[in-house]
Amino acid sequence: MSERDEDHGDISQDRREAAQAVERELSVLFGRARSVSLHFAAQVHPGLDAASYALLVHLFHTGPVRAAEIVELTGLDKSTVSRQIARLEDLELLERAVDLADGRARIVQLTQNGHDRLEAVRMARRQLLWEKLDSWTAEDMRTLSTLLGRLNQLL
């Protein structure tokens, strides 16, 4: 039998309460993640906002991309992405370069300075997470990773 009430076809009270608990915890997690991102963004460069920090992290993982790909990935409008890129160029964290696959196109990539600063901050962030999870078993961490991966697939 599913977790629906037999008579009403509604979601069971237990499932509703569990879903509300997940929603509450995600709200707390997202708020804390934003706060942590702002903290680490400021360590990369004072005044760097969370969205620009997220763009740097994305480029760190993917490598050079066209600005259009960033627009597609983030769902932000082209002008917002353009402003972010320009700001990060001004801070000497990003640079535009010729796309070797298509000499007419331009790509956006981390500068060496941007890479080095971000790598130092990412190492500090990773160390902080390891310290926070010190009492967790490897199995607990694998379970969390699996469940977060499933959630990310849905979102």
Q: Is residue 79 part of a domain?
A: yes
The SS3 call for residue 1 is coil
Which ranges of the chain does DSSP label H, i.e. alpha helix?
13-44, 50-62, 67-74, 78-90, 112-132, 138-154
Q: Domain containing 55: what range?
A: 13-154
Query: Using only C-alpha atoms, what is the Rg of the chain?
Result: 20
Query: Which pLDDT score, from 0 to 100, does residue 123 have?
Result: 94
pTM: 0.73
User: Can you name the residues that pair with 14 across neighbouring β-strands?
Assistant: none
The domain spanning residue 132 has which CATH number? 1.10.10.10
Query: Could you read off the pLDDT of 41-79 as tens digits, one per residue?
Result: 999 999 888 888 988 998 999 899 998 888 888 788 889
Q: Is residue 77 part of a domain?
A: yes
Structural domain total, the chain: 1
